Amino acid sequence: MTLKTEPFVINLGPVHPSTHGVFRLRATLDGEVVMDIEPIIGYLHRGIEKIAEGRNYKQDIPLTDRLDYVASMSNNLPYVMAVEKLAEIAVPERAEYIRIIMAEMQRIASHLLAVGSLANDLGTFFTPFQYMFREREKIVDLFEMVCGQRLLYNYMRFGGVSHDIPDEFIPALCKLVSTMPGFIDEYDQLLAENEILLARLKGVGILPKELAINSSVSGPMLRASGVEWDIRKVDSYSVYDRFNFDIPTEVIGDCYDRYRVRIQEMRQSVRILEQAIEQLPPGEVLAKVSPRLKPPVGEAYAHIEAPKGELGFYLVSDNSEKPYRLHIRAPSLINLTALREMVIGWKLADAIVIFGSIDICLGEVDR
């Protein structure tokens, strides 16, 4: 006998524990099957782009920390790069290396949180999450050693970084870099062949290559769909062209592939850190820049390969102390554009996992 069913609408959020921030997902269901979804954003909106136009250029650096607030160090970088383009500010070589060291440490910390919280979304409670938070705390300890902060760092400056790394930083970083591959192996052993993880992630939430490209997604999401695109390689910035590293990609573009890419990217970040430590030159870490910076009239765009994808800042200068216009190309927002196509036809429990595999931070969605 065929049961007669009727679609109904259910709201997930705006305070659902599996939504990685203040986010609402309005789902139309037939039983447990998702027929349609409507992502609703805006609950966390703080108007950072407009606020930035009322402050001077230096005062806007702390605002960037509040975007992807679990990857704050990376957020500073493209903004200061955009200002440096506008004002033609040269960055000392040592500062470039320190920036990359911070960015790659932040990539590892962000991916640890992404993979750990994805496992949490699967219902594993806290075991993988706590394992990965263990190493994330070591990275946060290093950030605190450098700038005194554990979440919002405000470390980058126009022409370099706010101050040099302390003497004890490199030995502590070397210890982390030497042990991190073993910890990544441990995560892989715990998760990669776990039958529950395979059943919940394999073949679920597939994002085809063509849809990924047409949706402008970037970062691990794009590379998991088989697109070998990494801004550190294709539009190299800072001194990334001095390092040897690979771009991990997968083929299918399902939730499992997105997990695999993040694990592999952590290994590549360790490779970059090893080379950066070895090559780190002496010298100054901050160029002389006027405290009342007034870039010439013009516009500039700078982007980086942030942990979640392409993070870019577009600036327009009118030769005043404040940006005339500031716009942020936030990967978390853009990566959400393909969510509807990825979720339709799957069950509600799968929708939570698919959403979690995107790895968003609402701070840069509702900026």
Pairing state between β 325-329 and 309-317: antiparallel
Domain that holds residue 148: 8-365
How far from 339 is each of 215, 221, 309, 357, CA to CA, in Å? 10, 11, 16, 10
**Structure tokens belonging to residue 324:** 């005339």
Question: Could you give the number of structural domains in the chain?
Answer: 1
State pLDDT tens for residues 29-67.
999 999 999 999 888 888 999 999 999 999 999 999 999
CATH of residue 94: 1.10.645.10
Q: What pTM did the predictor assign? A: 0.96
Place of tokens 């706010």: 162
Phi/psi of residue 56, each to 5°? -75, 170
pLDDT string in tens for the chain (367-residue length): 677 778 999 998 886 555 667 889 999 999 999 999 999 988 888 899 999 999 999 999 999 999 999 999 999 999 999 999 999 999 999 999 999 999 999 999 999 999 999 998 888 767 888 999 999 999 999 999 999 999 999 999 999 999 999 999 999 999 999 999 999 999 999 999 999 899 999 999 999 999 999 999 999 999 999 999 999 999 999 999 999 999 999 999 999 999 999 999 999 999 999 999 999 999 999 999 998 999 999 999 999 999 999 999 999 999 999 999 999 999 999 999 999 999 999 999 999 999 999 999 989 998 8
Q: Give yes or no for a contact between 174 and 137, defined as CB atoms under 8 angstroms apart.
A: no
In a domain, 2, yes or no: no
DSSP 22-59: S-EEEEEEETTEEEEEEEE--TT---HHHHHTTS-TGG
In a domain, 279, yes or no: yes
In a domain, 23, yes or no: yes
Long-range contact set of residues 264-267: C-beta below 8 Å, sequence gap at least 24: 265/107, 265/111, 265/220, 266/107, 266/108, 266/111, 266/112, 266/180, 266/184, 267/181, 267/184
State pLDDT tens for residues 254-312.
999 999 999 999 999 999 999 999 999 999 999 999 989 999 999 999 999 999 999 99
> Which residues are registered as beta bridge partners of 157?
160
Q: Give yes or no for a contact between 334 and 358, defined as CB atoms under 8 angstroms apart.
A: no
Query: How many Cβ atoms are within 10 Å of 168's Cβ, its own excluded?
Result: 10
